[in-house]
Structure formats: C-alpha cells, structure tokens
Homo-oligomer: A and B are copies of this chain.
C-alpha cells in the first residue's frame, strides 16, 4: 500500500536538496573518520570490529523503541505516518541480536563476558534519537531513517573491506546482510513517506537537520569505537578487555 509511486512535483526540489545534503555529510564523514580510514587501509582487527559492532548493538537495541515512540505521541495527526511508525518498529525488533551474533561468531561466547554499557558517544546518539522521537516536529525522525535505510551505497565498500580483511563469511555478517536487504525495501517507503509528510518548508528543514545531526553523531560513535580500540591496545582502558583474546 505504501509502495505506489507518488507524483508530488512540489517535493522534487526539497528531495533533491535533502539527498545532496546527505551526500555532502557522508563525504565529510568518510574523509575525516579515523575508523573509516583504518578500515580502508585494511587495518581493521577483530577487536576493533567487535567494539564497533557492540556499540552498534547498543543503539540498535533502542531503534524499534524510539521509532514506536514517534507513533505514540498524543499530538500526532497523520495516521498513515503513525501506522508506518508501528509497522517499522515491528520490523526492527530484535535486530540488535544480529549485531551480537556477529560479534560472538568472531570467537566469543555469550557467558564469557559482561557486556559493557555504551560509550558516551553511543549514549549521546541514543539520547538524541529518543529526544527527536518524543519532542518537536514528529516528522523529523524520518531524517534518521532517511540516511540509515539508505546507507548501503556509502558503507558497502567498507563492509566489503572488513569482510576481506577479517575473512568473514556471510553467516558472520548477518547484521549488515539482513539490513542491506530489508533497507532496500524500506528506503523506497521512507522516500515516499518523506514526500507525503513533509508539507511545509519547516518539515523539510526538520528532517534535514535530524538527518545530518544523527549521521554526524553516528560518525562520532565510530571514532569513539576506534579510540576505545587504541586505548585497549595500549592498555589505557579495560572496558573491552575481554576482546583481547580475539
């Protein structure tokens, strides 16, 4: 039902601007991220990848929840959007388990370690997504979906590089493989929904701001994972000490 193409000529220009802003933000992130550069140089290790995936576990744990909170807002009027929020939340349930599975597949056992809490940068991302999902223009959380569902064109080369460097099988990459498939479908839905729900210029501005901010905060999380890895290697931090055995 959500899949019909929507001819909404007035949305074309703001949609193009949104995609350009996204491209610029990715470009900057990819060019400056310490994590990305380490991956691109083929220097990713199991421990670094595991830290990144455990931080991913943390924020993914909250994605279905904060997505549902958008639809639970008392002031939300758009029932089509409300239904999307709940349907989409249902689809996101348990995805954090895939991230956890992929980490364990590197050679850890669930009972061997106590999962540490999220890094401050991860918690900042989580906090921001809850805030955006429960305050302000309800349409704006679509800015997060807009980049998250369509990130594969940007991150696929990185995933391939990780895969080669660490010689991972597809069965060890369930999080990315599953999302790449699901998100193909979701992306069209999100694009259509953005065009339907963004009616006023301030709607587009709100979506654009959340898109850029949540992507930047994700970039910060990546670099925090990278810095935590360096701290682990240099024995300045014991948060992820159990990964030393990898």
Contacts and interface: CB of A to CB of B under 8 A. Distances in A.
Contact of A86 (B73, B86, B120, B127): B86
B213 A120 contact: yes
A112 to B, nearest CB: 21
A91 to B, nearest CB: 8
Contact of A128 (B65, B71, B128, B136): B128
A131 interface: yes
Number of copies: 4
A62 B117 CA distance: 26
Contacts of A87: 86-87, 90
Contact of A65 (B71, B123, B212): B71
Interface size bracket, A side: 35 or more
Contacts of A69: 68-69, 72
Contact of A68 (B72, B117, B217): B72
Interface in A77-97: 79, 82-83, 85-87, 89-90, 93-94, 97
A131 B123 contact: yes
Contact of A126 (B73, B93, B131, B209): B131
Given A128-B124, A131-B130, A90 B94 contact: no
A123 B212 CA distance: 13
A74 interface: yes
Interface string A115-140: 00100100110111011100110000
A51 interface: no
28 contacts: A62-B74, A64-B72, A64-B86, A65-B72, A66-B72, A68-B68, A68-B71, A69-B72, A71-B89, A71-B93, A74-B135, A82-B94, A86-B87, A86-B90, A86-B93, A89-B89, A117-B136, A120-B209, A120-B213, A123-B128, A123-B131, A123-B213, A124-B217, A127-B127, A127-B128, A127-B130, A127-B131, A127-B132
